[in-house]
Structure 1
Amino acid sequence: MKYVPDATGDRHFADDLTVDREDVDGLLSELDEYAVEQALQIAEEADDAEITVLTVGPEDAKDALRKALSMGADKGIHVEDDDLHGTDAIGTSLVLAKAIEKAGYDLVITGMASTDGSMGILPALLAERLGVPQVTLLSEVSVEDGTVKGRRDGDAASEQLQASLPAVVSVTDLSGEARYPSFKGIMAAKKKPVQSWDLSDLDLEADEVGLEGAWTKVESAAERPARTAGTIVNDEGEGAKQLAEFLAGQKFI
């Protein structure tokens, strides 16, 4: 699960062209809440399932972990290291894979994409690094007899997919509304364990991650132009014509 800047906030780039997280609040990525919900539903059908939520991010990312714990997850793992600053999706997949292998797992569930970068490639990268099957973009998921099954909905058809465990799956925002943390869950989350790991705990070097190890980077960025006042047309019988001319001039029609 990912700790992301609030999309409703005023976001900016820092001097090194990474997202400036100091000037905007962060939260648990909404698309990852669906992954937490599906993990909870799968665990409710199992006898001895344990849900561990994992995030890579700054100190404040613990707030996102706590929300997932208040929803019902059992424990959390927070990977935090100053050298992770500027890590891209490829580097993040490396860190997550190392952490998942260290923690142990049967099934990894992610959201379909993050609400900030929106790349949607992490589940596939993660499955490749772990060497396990990937079943992505599921709107329905279940686990039975060592097999994960799900439905992927496309524009023209739906597919029924399955893979043997261990595996990586990603779920869409159509998989089911995420539950709202109850007061009891919020209080219980304060007592649930959260482990903190850094790069040394994962046997990773600083040059494998961060801006130095990134395979992708932002070359340049510019502020979005300020919103200008619109054109007001007084309709005296020619309004439709002026509207058509405006749309044609903007190449909308």
Structure 2
Amino acid sequence: MSKTIFLAGASGAIGQPLSRILVSAGYKVYGSTLDEAKVPILKEMGVEPVVMNVYEAERLKEILAEIKPEIVINQLTDLPYGLDADKMAEALIRTARIRTEGTKNMIEAAKAAGVKRYIAQSISFIYDEGPLPHVESDPLLPSSHEPYGGTADGVRGLEKQVIESGLEALVLRFGLLYGSGSGFDAPIAPASVHVEAAAKAAAIAVIKGETGIYNVAEAHESLSTEKALSTFGWNPDWRINS
């Protein structure tokens, strides 16, 4: 019998290609969305839709207890399409909350449901200044940084909770996303990553890799992705129709 996966954020820019990859690979996928209107999108992909709010901790526990997934993949963020500058300040605050409080609720629900493996989305473009290329052990921006100190704190909160959860837990630090659903057709910064390649990395992490943090981005002198490349055998040029 195929394993069951709970994918939080299944209707998002990474969530949609990831859903298609996992369903095609034979996994039973339950996918969450906050928006009831996106339920038909999930059904079309072969995903069992779950409408939920990550801040409703008790309901989240009930959902995972009923589904009993072996694996949880958390792709939740709350950023505007195309990183709309007029909306980013509030969006960064919301996403930092998801990464701290939302992660806490998700991990507690996962552990209570007997989940074995947990994969979380993070970001690779908030390293502090220092020698290049940045590796996963390098420090992130300080809390005092403007305007991204709060974002760095949110990332630290997410990653600490995930790595110390006691689960088989992997954090994928994605580069800046481009491709369908992101608002960008091409990279707008070094060491970016296409949403489909990012989704493929998350799919491979279902079965490969030990607990730890992995930079997942296209090759650039500013960032080392050697750990992800060697662990996952991942190709940043991979696309669903390639």
Q: TM-score range by the shorter chain?
A: 0.3 to 0.5
Higher-Rg member (1/2): 1
